[in-house]
């Protein structure tokens, strides 16, 4: 049985994933430290936003900060955008060292500069990564096949084995031993099937596998707050939700209890050991990235969401909660979780949710606290502030 320090979270979404993550770096690093893990890797969707806060939190806790991102990926971005295709896959890209971080920042910038598109479904602007960009900046980079929406597990799941094999070869040629297969267990049958096929494929090539937890919130009881956040991200209530409340940051023991072979856990430490400390690159975050952020992350937007909850009648709210949690009865949630149970038993519980939503970060200026050590992100916060104030004037 592995020990507490024999696992590292390689797939973690912070508040930097904007409307898809609510973990703040400070409590994240504290929890990681308390659980006895030695490092944690940030993999925000299409974002490097939490790096400054993570550097600070890492220094305070002694936990090693690893920087990556979960990109939206297609074969050929220009072609996909021109066609108006909405199909996107996920890919985890991790910086191995200072040069790798430079490449990560450049990948991030170029994906927004050259492959920027407005997703109508998600109501936000995004940058797309494709094979050409990945190849251009592949040096000193580690990748994993990402979640179920990674192109390899997804293609295996839908029976397109040849396409899955094609991408396996492409990644293998570009990254060799720095390409890992990723599996997780979130109690989602589709995912289980995709990952068992992925493991089969990996066995043929002796490919290393890592056990991951696609964490979007810190503790289990934060699941509903996260769901309220994602279900309101289009400005009105949508039925979009996660399949269950298991997408929280697990302790090593909780991860081991998922029952993967020991080596899957130990391989996460191998990735961590491959990563050496970073010096922040002098590259500037591109204007397009900042534009996308401002569209996603304005204070007015978050306050509007909080307001939605305050104004809702309990009748509407219960309907919304029903939508959000159709897989799990409210009684069961109440019974299983005291904190959530309390929300449900009090008439005003939805106001508490609204208050919590307000805590979700919107102050882009806060990143500037760390501007000396992380010049790469300084203009991000400066321009971000300007854009937010323009946005507020407009609305
Ligand atoms: Zn993903
Ligand atoms: Zn993810």
Contact criterion met (CB below 8 Å) for 126 and 20: no
Do residues 267 and 319 share a domain?
A: no
How far is residue 239's CA from residue 270's CA, in Å, rounded to a whole number?
A: 39
- Indicate whether 48 belongs to any domain: yes
Ligand nearest to the CA of 69: 2
pLDDT of residue 86: 87
From ligand 2's centre to the CA of 256, what distance in Å?
A: 20
- Indicate whether 29 belongs to any domain: yes
Do residues 385 and 273 share a domain?
A: no
From ligand 2's centre to the CA of 11, what distance in Å?
A: 6
230, 258, 282 — which closes off a domain?
Answer: 282
Do residues 270 and 365 share a domain?
A: no
For residue 132, give the 3-state DSSP assignment.
Answer: helix
From ligand 2's centre to the CA of 195, what distance in Å?
A: 15
Ligand nearest to the CA of 21: 2
Do residues 40 and 122 share a domain?
A: yes
In CATH, what number is assigned to the domain containing residue 272? Answer: 3.20.20.140
Ligand nearest to the CA of 153: 1
Look up the domain containing 82 and give its range: 4-215+250-282
Do residues 75 and 204 share a domain?
A: yes
How far is residue 317's CA from residue 384's CA, in Å, rounded to a whole number?
A: 33
Do residues 325 and 191 share a domain?
A: no
262, 282, 302 — which closes off a domain?
Answer: 282
Note down pLDDT in tens along the chain; length 395 residues: 789 999 999 999 998 887 788 888 999 999 999 999 999 999 999 888 888 888 889 999 999 999 999 999 999 999 999 998 889 999 999 999 999 999 998 999 899 889 988 777 666 678 899 999 999 999 999 999 999 999 999 999 999 999 999 999 999 999 999 999 999 999 999 999 999 999 999 999 999 999 999 999 998 877 777 777 777 666 666 666 787 778 999 999 999 999 999 999 999 999 999 999 888 777 667 767 766 666 666 666 666 766 666 655 454 455 445 544 544 444 454 555 555 455 444 434 555 565 666 666 544 333 333 333 333 444 344 444 444 444 344 43
How far is residue 395's CA from residue 391's CA, in Å, rounded to a whole number?
A: 6
260, 282, 304 — which closes off a domain?
Answer: 282
Rounded to 10 deg, the angle between the 299-311 and 378-394 helix axes is 50
Q: What is the pTM of this model?
A: 0.83
pLDDT of residue 277: 87
From ligand 1's centre to the CA of 382, what distance in Å?
A: 29
pLDDT of residue 60: 95
Percentage with pLDDT > 90 across the chain? 50
**Cα-based distances in Å from 314 to 26, 78, 221, 233, 335:** 34, 46, 21, 20, 20
From ligand 2's centre to the CA of 70, what distance in Å?
A: 6
Ligand nearest to the CA of 150: 1
**In terms of DSSP H, where are the helices of the chain?**
25-34, 51-61, 77-83, 98-114, 131-136, 151-157, 161-175, 189-205, 223-231, 252-256, 262-274, 287-296, 299-311, 314-324, 330-336, 338-345, 349-359, 378-394
From ligand 1's centre to the CA of 92, what distance in Å?
A: 8
From ligand 2's centre to the CA of 346, what distance in Å?
A: 33
Ligand nearest to the CA of 44: 2
Cα atoms in the 13 Å half-sphere on the side-chain side of 395: 14
- Indicate whether 237 belongs to any domain: no
- Indicate whether 245 belongs to any domain: no
Do residues 149 and 187 share a domain?
A: yes
From ligand 1's centre to the CA of 318, what distance in Å?
A: 29
pLDDT of residue 39: 98
pLDDT of residue 358: 60
- Indicate whether 230 belongs to any domain: no
Sign of the CA dihedral running 19, 151, 108, 368: positive
**Cα-based distances in Å from 41 to 95, 278, 302:** 10, 13, 26
Do residues 18 and 98 share a domain?
A: yes
pLDDT digits (tens, 9 = 90+) for 328-387: 444 454 555 555 455 444 434 555 565 666 666 544 333 333 333 333 444 344 444 444
Do residues 20 and 152 share a domain?
A: yes
Q: In the structure encoding, which two tokens stand for residue 252, read together?
A: 């090593």
pLDDT of residue 246: 87
From ligand 2's centre to the CA of 278, what distance in Å?
A: 23
How far is residue 19's CA from residue 222's CA, in Å, rounded to a whole number?
A: 14
Ligand nearest to the CA of 13: 2
- Indicate whether 156 belongs to any domain: yes
From ligand 2's centre to the CA of 392, what distance in Å?
A: 30
From ligand 1's centre to the CA of 316, what distance in Å?
A: 31
Ligand nearest to the CA of 88: 1
- Indicate whether 178 belongs to any domain: yes
Q: In the structure encoding, which two tokens stand for residue 52, read together?
A: 């400054």
Ligand nearest to the CA of 72: 1
- Indicate whether 221 belongs to any domain: no
How far is residue 97's CA from residue 31's CA, in Å, rounded to a whole number?
A: 25
Do residues 266 and 347 share a domain?
A: no
From ligand 2's centre to the CA of 316, what distance in Å?
A: 30
From ligand 1's centre to the CA of 273, what distance in Å?
A: 23
pLDDT of residue 109: 86
From ligand 1's centre to the CA of 389, what distance in Å?
A: 32
From ligand 1's centre to the CA of 182, what distance in Å?
A: 11
Do residues 105 and 154 share a domain?
A: yes
Do residues 207 and 263 share a domain?
A: yes
From ligand 2's centre to the CA of 390, what distance in Å?
A: 31
Q: In the structure encoding, which two tokens stand for residue 274, read together?
A: 């491959």
Contact criterion met (CB below 8 Å) for 65 and 57: yes
pLDDT of residue 64: 97
pLDDT of residue 319: 46
User: In the chain, how many domains are there?
Assistant: 2
Q: What is the DSSP letter of 241?
A: -
């Amino acid at each position: 049985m592995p020990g507490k320090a024999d696992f590292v979270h390689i797939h973690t979404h912070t508040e930097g994933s904007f409307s898809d993550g609510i973990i703040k770096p400070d409590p994240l690093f504290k929890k990681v430290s308390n659980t006895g893990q030695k490092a944690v890797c940030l993999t925000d969707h299409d974002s490097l936003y939490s790096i400054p806060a993570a550097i600070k939190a890492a220094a305070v806790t002694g936990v090693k900060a690893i920087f990556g991102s979960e990109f939206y990926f297609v074969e050929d971005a220009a072609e996909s955008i021109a066609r108006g295709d909405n199909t996107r896959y996920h890919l985890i890209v991790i910086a191995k060292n200072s040069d790798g971080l430079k490449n990560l920042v450049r990948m991030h910038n170029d994906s927004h500069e050259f492959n920027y598109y407005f997703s109508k479904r998600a109501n936000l602007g995004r940058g797309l990564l494709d094979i050409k960009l990945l190849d251009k900046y592949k040096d000193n980079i580690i990748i994993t096949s990402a979640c179920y929406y990674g192109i390899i597990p997804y293609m295996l799941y839908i029976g397109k084995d040849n396409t899955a094999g094609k991408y396996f070869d492409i990644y293998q040629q570009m990254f060799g031993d720095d390409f890992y297969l990723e599996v997780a267990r979130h109690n989602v049958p589709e995912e289980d099937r995709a990952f068992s096929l992925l493991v089969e494929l990996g066995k043929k090539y002796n490919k290393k596998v890592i056990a991951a937890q696609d964490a979007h919130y810190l503790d289990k009881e934060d699941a509903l707050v996260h769901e309220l956040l994602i279900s309101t991200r289009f400005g009105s209530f949508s039925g979009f939700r996660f399949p269950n409340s298991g997408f929280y940051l697990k302790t090593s023991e909780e991860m081991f209890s998922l029952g993967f072979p020991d080596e899957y856990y130990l391989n996460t430490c191998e990735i961590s050991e491959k990563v050496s400390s970073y010096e922040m690159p002098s590259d500037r975050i591109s204007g397009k990235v900042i534009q996308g952020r401002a569209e996603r992350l304005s204070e007015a937007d978050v306050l509007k969401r909080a307001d939605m909850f305050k104004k809702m009648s309990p009748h509407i709210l219960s309907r919304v909660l029903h939508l959000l949690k159709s897989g799990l009865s409210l009684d069961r949630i109440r019974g299983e979780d005291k904190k959530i149970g309390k929300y449900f038993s009090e008439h005003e519980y939805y106001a508490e949710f609204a208050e919590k939503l307000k805590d979700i970060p919107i102050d882009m200026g806060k990143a500037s606290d760390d501007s000396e050590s992380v010049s790469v992100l300084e203009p991000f916060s400066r321009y971000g502030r300007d854009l937010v104030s323009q946005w507020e004037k407009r609305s």
